[in-house]
Amino acid sequence: MIRWLIFYLAISTSAICQQMAEGLIVDSQTGEPVPFASIALVGTSKGTSSNQYGQFSIAVKDSFALMVTCIGYESKTIQSLDALKRIQLNPMATQLNTIVVSDKPIHPQKIIRKAFTSIHENYSTKPFLQQFFYRHYCKDDSVYGRLIEASVDVWKNKGYRSLQSFAGEREEIRITQLRRSMDKTRMAQGHEPIAISDILETDLAGYQAPEKSERMLFYTRISNLKADLESYTFTFKGITSYDGQEVYEINYSYRDTVPTGTGTYRVRTQANGSLFITTDTYAFIKRDEVKTYGQNTLRTSTFYRKYNNQYYPYHFVLDGKSQAADNSTHIFHIELMSVEIKTNETAKFTGKIPGREELLTIPYDSVFWTSNTILKTTPLEDDIIRDLGGGTSLNKQFYRYRQYEMNTRDGGLNAEEKFHWLQEDSRGNRILYLIFWSDPIKSYLRELELSKQLQQQYRNSIMFVFLSIDDDEIQWQKTVQQYNLFSDGIINYRIGSKSSLLKSLRVKETPSFVIYNRNGEVFDLKAKRPSDPLLQQDLHALLESK
């Protein structure tokens, strides 16, 4: 508790000495926004990035200087708040490969191999702390279903001394601030609590597959470029610039094929991308990649900037789209943006990516979100807040999320009290369908499985709650795990045989089914079973009623 108090006082004191500045970066010739540009506070390791619309926000003091850099543009220094409002960057023409004059032919594969062997020269090999801002949102088809934002610290014990094969292998990770909405997506039950590993592993200079593979795996974020270099096709596109340096632009492609048996080949996974590598030191400064498998897509962008003559990542972007058998789509977007780098050993800590329960213990400080550098929100995020909370601020959604998790995660502790909280929280929003059960359940297990299917169909408007009247908590836990009763967003509570709910709802046997309407009133004490086709008529009638 004292540790968190000290942390709170530190950021609160810092907030007094600085202000939030906002700006827009555009192309001076076209007026179009410049996305993912680097905005660094001169003389420090602090910085931010522009979002996909060229907008940014950063905490600055009264006197400041910002260096704005982006591949293909001249760098620019900004020293006043007025100048931040609209920063125009001058584009620099790319020298195409057909007009590049060189004494030696350019071999893309050799350049990339040299870039990998030069990582320990271009990136810090000493321990350092990097502080990031994390944003993650998902949607099903066109409706947003979850939003998470966090402040993430990564302590790299050996810097970039050697490539890693997974996040956390030789580094410490912690989350100091967190806010999130409810998860209303179809994949809610299977979602990782937070996808820090996924986005960290898009760091091309830090993570690579450890050995050559027979085929490219679609869902892994770890690149196999170094191990399977000979399997890629490369094309030298030309030379562009970044912060006054010449940069090679190299395109690459990879196809994982399988014979069809008819003399042709079917493409399974394929990847197409671009690498940007400095011509003098062979440093990776940007990677873009699109990976596809059927109708599924993963898009990755990684950006690096120089600090104290070495490169550090400043922005990661990971977009994914998957298509189900019914043609519905699930889309996710994850960004990780560098805020500050610290090389002092006193910044060292130990930690790992927290699980669901650990995330709930992170204290919430509303001041942090208004006084510290975060990735500027876009109109897109306004849509997210609308879809998730009907316009309710993310701060309020965060408080509700914590309450919801506390009252639904452990259904064996104070279950009746938690059920009453859920009942009140659902009032005006959701219908409740209650299933009272007890062991043995084999004779009506089909009804429980059908309830889980109905929950998927009505997940955002009807909540299906399993209420066990068993008194043996250990046996209840075994039964829930054995029959996967926690899956698919189902809420489970063990209220026991002496619960006052049984008397008030006149439950005398199991299974029994009860429906509450949106107003929190009992609609049917003898509700139809999930296997009864007429149940859905009742549910539709309730959903259509005001």
Q: Which residue reads 């197409």 in tokens?
A: 272
Could you read off the pLDDT of 484-520 as tens digits, one per residue? 887 767 899 999 999 999 999 999 999 999 999 999 9
User: What CATH number is attached to the domain comprising 72?
Assistant: 2.60.40.1120
Are 392 and 420 found together in one domain?
no
Give domain status of residue 469, yes or no: yes
Could you read off the pLDDT of 29-46 as tens digits, one per residue? 999 999 999 999 999 999
Sign of CA dihedral 230, 236, 242, 244: positive
Question: What number of CA atoms fall less than 13 Å from residue 168's CA on the CB side?
Answer: 12
Domain end, chosen from 399, 428, 449, is at: 399
Domain end, chosen from 65, 92, 119, is at: 92
Domain span at residue 395? Answer: 107-399
Give domain status of residue 422, yes or no: yes
Are 385 and 437 found together in one domain?
no
Cα separation, 159 vs 126, whole angstroms:
5
- Sheet containing 431-437: order of strands: 491-494, 462-468, 431-437, 512-516, 522-524
Are 113 and 35 found together in one domain?
no
Q: What pLDDT, on a 0 to 100 scale, did the predictor assign at position 25?
A: 96
Query: Going residue by residue through the chain (546 aa), what tens digit of pLDDT does each one get?
Result: 444 444 444 444 444 457 888 999 999 999 999 999 999 999 999 999 999 899 999 988 878 999 999 999 999 999 999 999 999 999 987 666 554 555 567 899 999 999 999 999 999 999 999 999 999 999 888 888 888 999 999 999 999 998 898 998 889 999 999 988 878 787 766 678 899 999 999 999 999 998 888 777 787 888 999 999 999 999 999 999 999 999 999 999 998 876 766 766 677 889 999 999 999 999 999 999 999 988 899 999 999 999 999 999 999 999 999 988 888 899 999 999 999 999 998 999 999 999 888 888 887 787 888 888 888 876 566 677 677 666 666 667 777 777 888 888 788 889 999 999 999 988 888 899 999 999 999 999 999 999 988 988 887 789 999 999 999 999 999 999 999 887 767 899 999 999 999 999 999 999 999 999 999 999 999 999 999 999 999 999 899 886
Give domain status of residue 98, yes or no: no
Question: How many structural domains is the chain composed of?
Answer: 3
- Both tokens of 275, joined, read 């690498």
Are 226 and 259 found together in one domain?
yes
Minimal CA–CA distance to 165: which of 207, 195, 225, 135? 207
Are 151 and 81 found together in one domain?
no
Give domain status of residue 8, yes or no: no
Cα separation, 255 vs 268, whole angstroms:
7
Q: Around Cβ 349, how many Cβ atoms within 10 Å?
A: 12
- The conformation of residue 118, written as its DSSP 8-state character, comes to T
Q: What pLDDT, on a 0 to 100 scale, did the predictor assign at position 5?
A: 47
Give domain status of residue 390, yes or no: yes
Could you read off the pLDDT of 448-462 as tens digits, one per residue? 999 988 988 887 789
Are 415 and 390 found together in one domain?
no
**First-last CA distance in the chain:** 47
Minimal CA–CA distance to 324: which of 186, 147, 146, 145? 186
Residue 78: Cβ-neighbour burial (10 angstroms; 0-12, 13-18, 19+): buried
Are 292 and 166 found together in one domain?
yes
Cα separation, 234 vs 229, whole angstroms:
10
Cα separation, 16 vs 61, whole angstroms:
10
Are 309 and 423 found together in one domain?
no
User: What CATH number is attached to the domain comprising 529?
Assistant: 3.40.30.10
CB 388 within 8 A of CB 181: yes
Threshold 0.85, pTM exceeds: no
Give domain status of residue 102, yes or no: no
User: Buried b / exposed e across 474-497, counting CB within 10 Å, b at 16+?
Assistant: eebbebbeeeebbebbbbbbbbbe
Are 84 and 120 found together in one domain?
no
Are 288 and 386 found together in one domain?
yes
Domain end, chosen from 39, 66, 92, is at: 92
Give domain status of residue 386, yes or no: yes
Beta strands at 143-156 and 171-180: parallel, antiparallel or unpaired: antiparallel
The whole-chain average pLDDT of the chain stands at 87
Q: What pLDDT, on a 0 to 100 scale, did the predictor assign at position 387?
A: 72
Give domain status of residue 5, yes or no: no
Are 342 and 312 found together in one domain?
yes
Q: What pLDDT, on a 0 to 100 scale, did the predictor assign at position 15?
A: 46
Are 380 and 422 found together in one domain?
no
